Amino acid sequence: MLFSGSLFMTSGSAQAATVTTSASSKANAVIATGKRYMGVPYKFGAKTGNTSSFDCSSFTQFIYRQNGVSIPRTSRQQSKVGTFVPRSQLKPGDLVFFYSPVHHVAVYIGDGKILHTYGKGGVKISNLNSGWWSDHYNSARRVL
């Protein structure tokens, strides 16, 4: 009986590790896709699927969709999908939201950095943990 329990635990642990690895791999793929568009101009209301310009939510929707994950179009809609994540538990691939009410979204890429697009310079990486982005942080959601 103890032997069977050990096999069950090992099997369950292996399954949990596979799920974690899968989410981590998917997050890495989403981030890599986003980084390919560094510098692409920001344009409010950019059409979904357009890669010559993005707004914040068309960017996140596009890079997730390129990796098989469907999320809504607007930042406010995106802030309601997946599961809530406390700021202290952010993982790469989490969606991070700003302002109240929400009207900006970014992708957490690890080490206190976010990948997003806004204003001059378009798609870029910014520091979440200092200055403006830290002050205007609202919430985060895990969709992977």
- Catalytic sites, residue numbers: 56, 104, 116
Q: How far apart are CA 76 and CA 4, in angstroms?
A: 48
Secondary structure class of 56 (helix, strand, coil)? helix
93, 23 contact by CB (below 8 A): yes
d(Cα 57, Cα 67) in Å, to the nearest integer?
A: 16
**Tell me, what amino acid is at 74?**
T
Strands 123-127 and 113-117: antiparallel
What beta strand segments (E) does the chain contain? Answer: 83-84, 95-98, 104-110, 113-117, 123-127, 137-142
